[in-house]
Copies of this chain bind each other. A is one copy, B any other.
Amino acid sequence: MKAELTIQLAHGGGGRLSRDLIQSEIVSRFGNGPLEGLPDAATIPWHCDKLLFTTDSYVVQPIEFPGGNIGDLAVHGTVNDLCVCGGRPKWLSVGLILEEGLPLATLRKVLDSMKKAAADCGITVVTGDTKVVGAGQSDGLYINTSGIAEAIKGFSLSPARITKGDDVIVSGNLADHGFAVLAARKNINISSALKSDTAPVHRLVQALEPFAGEIKFMRDPTRGGLSAVLNEIVENRNINIQLNETDIPFSTCVKALSETLGIDPLHVASEGRIVLICSSQVTDQILHTWKSMPEGFGAQSIGVVDSGKGRVTIKTITGGIRIVDVPRGELLPRIC
């Protein structure tokens, strides 16, 4: 019984235990106001204006992986949290926790990646902090990034607006990040070039401005993957989400790894993708817009919202229907 009274890895996995911990310990204490509903970023009034504010710590292991490292991941992750809440990222803070003995060359490589990523996203690093802990009291390097964005006018994002008939769209292949980190950690030799999808989504979001009013929800499917995002939406609502397995874009390599390792790719993180729910009348326009952009060429409509009892289901390739549940344990700790 004692294990239940301590923190477990699964508390950080983005699944059921994570949500329980956040609800019972964080929301119960701080949850009146912008924190309520746990959006990726808080929208706060600022005089006659609105700004968005978010924070994330990054503890990914290994620090470097195919397609990126903890530095660009830490910039993209916070930029993306701001973007999917309808923000135009402006200002970034960087908090470093360094372990004694970390090679300076590693730190430099990570900071170079952060600089490049921030420049690409048009976000400015304006404040920072550096702490050092003794050897064995950290695991190389942890990074916190917090970010401020201005609200893009026209968006009115709220899961409460989602209704029967809406479409579910993703901006590209899912789960590349999680499997790339897993492969790097386990030294799995991937002959094909599976890389993390870590990337900023700011251009994808800014391109949506003409349809902003018809978009009801956006999120980047990180810890817990697509299944965690969609289950959170339908929870305690009279709606279902029905996915079509044939429409969900996965790379060949992700499909092969997921079969070999027995890991459901619907539970695995992406770090440069958007899950979007919109009125069906703008679906074609959004797909057309995204598919014309390098970061959105793999966009797909993957399912629909129906009335129901708060379930996410998937129509499998063989024609069956199964329930898509939230990941419960922790398959991939320290994925971001």
12 contacts between A and B (CB under 8 A): A9-B100, A13-B132, A21-B130, A30-B128, A33-B126, A42-B93, A44-B91, A53-B148, A133-B139, A133-B334, A137-B138, A142-B142
Would you call A127 and B34 a contact (CB within 8 A)?
yes
Given contacts A138-B137, A144-B95, contact A127 B46 (CB under 8 A): no
Given contacts A22-B130, A49-B47, A55-B128, contact A8 B100 (CB under 8 A): yes
The answer, yes or no, to whether A156 is at the interface (CB within 8 Å) is no
Find chain B residues with CB under 8 A from A133 CB: 12, 59, 139, 333-334
The answer, yes or no, to whether A262 is at the interface (CB within 8 Å) is no
Q: Which of B10, B111, B136 contacts A136 (CB 8 A)?
A: B136
Q: Which of B55, B98, B144 contacts A11 (CB 8 A)?
A: B98
The answer, yes or no, to whether A115 is at the interface (CB within 8 Å) is yes
Find chain B residues with CB under 8 A from A126 CB: 33-35, 42, 44, 53
Of A101-109, A200-208, A300-308, the segment with at least 4 beta carbons within 8 Å of chain B is: A101-109
Chain B nearest Cβ from A103, distance in angstroms: 5
Find chain B residues with CB under 8 A from A268 CB: none
Find chain B residues with CB under 8 A from A104 CB: 5-7, 25
Closest Cβ neighbor of A103 among chain B residues:
B6
Find chain B residues with CB under 8 A from A100 CB: 6-9
Question: In the complex, A144 Cα to B55 Cα: how many Å?
Answer: 9
Find chain B residues with CB under 8 A from A30 CB: 94, 115, 118, 124-125, 128
Interface 1/0 per residue, A138-175 and B, CB below 8 Å: 11001010101000000000000000000000000000
Would you call A131 and B93 a contact (CB within 8 A)?
no
- Given A12-B130, A22-B128, A53-B148, output 11 extra A-B contacts at Cβ < 8 Å: A6-B104, A25-B111, A26-B111, A30-B94, A35-B127, A42-B126, A44-B91, A55-B93, A57-B95, A57-B144, A137-B139
Contacting residues of chain A (282-304) with chain B, CB-CB under 8 angstroms: none
Closest Cβ neighbor of A129 among chain B residues:
B56
Chain B nearest Cβ from A187, distance in angstroms: 18
Chain B nearest Cβ from A222, distance in angstroms: 11
The 8 closest A-B pairs by CB, nearest first: A12-B132, A55-B93, A146-B146, A42-B126, A144-B144, A30-B125, A34-B126, A42-B127
